[in-house]
Amino acid sequence: SDSNQNASKSNNPVGARTLLENGKEDKDCVDFATQIEAQSFFEANGGPSSDPHSLDRDGDGRVCETLP
């Protein structure tokens, strides 16, 4: 049943939000309405040198590229 192992990773209910080491709520791309909003948050919170929210998974400096 290897096909079910990845399902639990992508299903992250809102109530099960992860906290960062500093105690702040972990943000994900779904928390932002637009790419620009996510990018502004990313840059204001340490990116690209620090990305505690893992918004820039491909490391190119642009976050949440699938958002409008």
> How does pLDDT run across 8-48, given as a tens digit for each residue?
344 444 455 677 776 778 899 999 999 999 999 999 988 88
CA gap 60, 68 in Å, rounded: 18
pLDDT of res. 26: 87
CA gap 27, 46 in Å, rounded: 13
pLDDT of res. 19: 74
Query: Residue 39, Cβ neighbours under 10 Å: how many?
Result: 20
